[in-house]
Structure formats: structure tokens, C-alpha cells
Amino acid sequence: MLAALKQKKDGSFELDFTMGGLIGALIANAFAAFKGNESKKLLETPGLKDRIGGAGNQFALMTIISLLTSIPLALLKEGHLLQNFFTKFQTNKAVYENVVLSGLTFYGYNELATMTLTKISAVSQSVANTAKRVIVIVACAIIFKEDFSGIKPYGCAVCIGGVFLDSIIDDLMKPKAKTA
């Protein structure tokens, strides 16, 4: 909430976000956590690597299944805009390049994140994800010349700190070993 505060000219603050965006982000985060936990369990399944060839192929299969299950919802919600998108995709070089490059980088990042689960714990991956969020927030503020004054840096710090704390809370709350 602090990160979404915007200072008005009179010095007072107002919230500057959409409820739809907040709900969408919450749902996306819940599904991302579920996907990470299930991916880790699946990667630890005996014989899986022999059957599908490793974490990269597991991610590719998950992506294909996600695409196939998302198509009906996307068509239902945005289907009326499909023809307009195809026209812009074919005629506007910037749209074409952005779609292709964002798709490739998103796929590469997520495949790397899935393969990382074979080397580190889910908690370590969550901490690394927190670092990624810091970089994205700062980079966007610089690139888009976003107003990053007033209380916004503190709000971002609270958000990032909350994500970090959430990723390590289990380790912090472990009962201490009793010494004899």
C-alpha cells in the first residue's frame, strides 16, 4: 500500500493503483507459488529425469499445458480483440519485436528458474526472486523516469522486505535444537 501512495500537490497522499491490478497480482503470485512447489516435488520424483529428460523439458511441458488451459479463458475475455492484435502484429514492427522478445525472455527466465530448483531449495529461489523484484522496480523507475520520491521508496522497501521475510519465515521459526 505504501508503494502505491502518490503525493498530491497539496502535500496529502492518495492511493494510486487499481483493484483489478492488485487482485490479478495476488492471483498470479498464488499460482506462481503453487507452480514452484509442485515443480520442486515433481523434480524430486524418482525416475522423472529418465522419462522426460530433465527440468528444461518439465518446464516446456508445463508451459504447453498452461497455454492449452489458458486459451479458452483468453478467448472468452479478450477474443473480440484478436483480429486487431493480429493486424498490429503483422503490420507494426515494434509490436512484433516486443511480443517475440518478451516471449523468449519470459520463457528463458522461467525455464532457468525451474532448472534452478534442481540445485537450490524453494526458499533460496524465493530469496533470489526477491532480488529480481528489487532490480525490476529500480530499473523501471529509472527507465520510465518514474517519480520515486517521497514515501514510495519506503513502500517499495516494505514490499520487498515482506516478500523476503515470507521466503525465510520457516527457517526463522524453526524450534531451536536442545542441547544436552
Q: Give per-residue pLDDT as tens, 17-27.
A: 667 777 877 78
Mean pLDDT, residues 97-106 taken together: 93
Q: What are φ and ψ of residue 13, in 5° steps?
A: -115, 150
Question: pLDDT tens digit string along 69-101?
Answer: 989 999 999 999 999 999 999 999 999 999 999
Write the pLDDT tens digit of every residue in 39-64: 778 778 888 777 887 777 877 888 88
Phi, psi of 44 (to 5 degrees): -90, 0
Q: Compute the 3-state secondary structure of the chain and give helix, strand, coil in percent, each to the nearest 5.
A: 75, 5, 20
String of DSSP letters for 80-115: GGHHHHHHHHHH-HHHHHHHHHHHHHHHHHHHHHHH
Least reliable range by pLDDT among 8-12, 103-107, 109-113, 176-180: 176-180
pTM for the whole structure: 0.54
